A and B are shown apart, each in its own frame.
Chain A
Amino acid sequence: MKKIVLAASLVASLTVSSFAQETLTVISFGGDYGKAQKKHMIDPFVKQSGVKVFFDDYKGGSAELKAQVSTGQVKWDVIDMEYVDLEKACNENLLERIDPSFLPKGDDGVDAKDDFYPMAINECAIGNIFWATAFAYNEKFIGDVKPTTMNDLFDLKKFPGKRALKKRAQINLEWALIADGVAAKDVYDVLETDEGIKRAFAKLDTIKDSVIWFDSWSQAPQLLNDGSVILAQAANGRLTQFTVVWDGQAFDLDGWAIVKGTKNLELAKKFIASSTSSVPLSGMKDVNYGPTRKSGTKLLTAEEQNKLPTAHLEEGFKVDSGFWSDYGTELNEKFNAWLLKK
């Protein structure tokens, strides 16, 4: 009896796997951003191709990616990466090189290579949004004086209370320097020197006791919402229900990258081609992220365009992914040691 059951289950498992639908695993950041991506990028692709998509979340960074590639257990196919992490992952040979020739023309018939903003076509990824890291406050808890500059984030007298920042060196060091008087365009030159690093940490020291450090972007709106913090750093798309302070915004791209060694390479390209065409890209305006194609921007009204980080470029700076690829490991180590010291 046991043998029959065993054989039957064996047969069942074999047939199931051989008739399994094609499945593509796509990894992104979840939250409202994930919802918008599902609506505008995943669902239309599923409908049109009949491919099953498993859409899941991660916290960012390249560690899990590295673990999968170096152990040969590749479970992810396409992954949404911040360009700060992308550069490093690309250098470490964790991602497939992408030849952009497979990308379709824009809605207005312009060739993909002219339609995409130049930054969006990367050796290892195709840009899917323009976004920014900024800080915001909740009108309910802020009081009469409202923050307007990066200084205010570091001013405990003017704005007493906790601040929420993402637990990593990126952006926080840049912001510390800006609040300390460095011009946004010079931030990376200063941060390249030992004195610059010391200066940034010294500035962070002034608010160290008032910071709640979070791991995942989704925690920031939560902390603002229940009043646990008065100011919070987040990706601007997570802050739609709060008031964003654009001063010192760190402007960047996200892109779809393909995990090295995936079995679904062609399918992954198909997905990227479909999800970075003009209409899906313009849909990301739902969470105030900008399209990476000019033809996508054309689909937005002037009012919609005004809410995007691209409308506030003069107030901030572009995150330098080359810098973070070179110094990221070192600065994050220093950052962690700093964090654990009293």
Chain B
Amino acid sequence: MQTYKYQNVFPKDETIKILLSELKVLAKERNSGVLSEELNRMVPGFGSVIKKTSRKIKKIDIENIESYKDFLLNISKRWENPKYWMTIKRANDGFTLSYVLSALDLEFNIEGKIVQKDESLRIYLPILLKTLYMAFLITLITMILAYPTSYYLASLPKSKANLLMIFVLLPFWTSILVRIVSWITLLQQKGVANDVMMYFNIINQPLDMMFNQFATIITMTHILLPFMVLPLYGSMRSVDQTYIRASSSLGANPFTTFFKVYFPLTVPGLSAGAILVFIISVGYYITPALVGGIDGQMISNMIEFHMRTSNNWELASAMGGILLIITITLYWVYDKLVGVNSLKLG
């Protein structure tokens, strides 16, 4: 097989003979299924060709076959495609790039060059971009919600703030599953939110709020909100009030005081929260799996799918590696722009 080049289109008889006799041994030991699954991962559809061929060859004496080429083509026309032969050749190498390429919707073509996959098979790159987009959106929403909340908490006397803090911490300590299921109860077709809005004639048809991207974003925002509130609250508490007073007494209006003095002092807390929320949501798995439907799935759900359902661990680890590299790169960019030393978790 090593000597095979795609220009020859069909391999020599000796090559086919070796392949067939090896297949025969595998078929007798009932191991051909393992090979076919392996090859099927590299080229979808190859598995059934191998299975069919090995089932046929099991009953036939190889020496009696007149034309190997006709024999193979009789079993499946697909043997004519040099892609399959190239795959067998490539499967010989111990080290392969094809899974990493697969995770980026790329593949080797028959000439061994890296090309984009067929349009209908490109799924991983879009879902990776969607994951980053959703993580960014969730980070933004938690920022908008957490900033005024933390500001209010920080402006209260300590005893009162501690009491109110319980409302932030209580959900934080509640099981994630419980929180997700409560959102399902609220948002489903015949759920509380739809029923109330129908009752007050705000809508005439139940809205689709569950099992989609909307559900994923709203539920994850709720779950990750404390990760934003806590560092923000910490940094706001430690803002020295004399700066604010000094700014006002020097003639700054409230806006200027806020943007020039107060806000910059809370940036370490804000960025710490943002990094926490973003990194956690990029790899989040359970929420999209339960409420995301198809549209709200994230990259981690695909990794889980390949780990547990399709058993394509090679592809799963390639996808995990890419996700790790992206996260580290973003962290590095953050370090360059803002500086990790300024992080403050309260």
Contacts and interface: CB of A to CB of B under 8 A. Distances in A.
Contact of A228 (B48, B52, B126, B188): B188
A326 B294 CA distance: 27
Contacts, number: 68
Interface string B40-63: 100011011001100000000000
Interface in A284-338: 325-327, 329-330, 332-334, 336-337
Contacts of B211: 212
Interface residues of A, number: 29
Output the residue of A62, A212, A213 with the most chain B CB within 10 A.
A212
A227 interface: yes
Interface stretch (B27-35, B79-87, B216-224): B27-35
A212 B294 CA distance: 8
A66 B312 CA distance: 11
Interface string B283-320: 00000000001100100000001001111000000000
A334 B48 contact: no
Contacts of A162: 189
Interface string B124-136: 0011000000000
B44 A326 contact: no
B37 interface: yes
A228 B45 contact: no
A63 B188 contact: no
Contacts of A326: 47-48, 51-52
B120 interface: yes
A325 B311 contact: no
Contacts of B188: 226, 228
Given A327-B48, A330-B40, A212 B293 contact: yes
Interface of A: 61-64, 66-67, 88, 91-93, 162, 212-213, 226-228, 325-327, 329-330, 332-334, 336-337, 339-341
20 contacts: A61-B309, A63-B308, A67-B308, A67-B311, A88-B33, A93-B34, A162-B189, A213-B293, A213-B294, A226-B190, A227-B190, A228-B190, A325-B51, A327-B48, A330-B45, A330-B47, A333-B44, A337-B123, A340-B126, A340-B127
- Nearest first, the 3 closest Cβ-Cβ pairs linking A and B are A91-B33, A92-B33, A326-B48
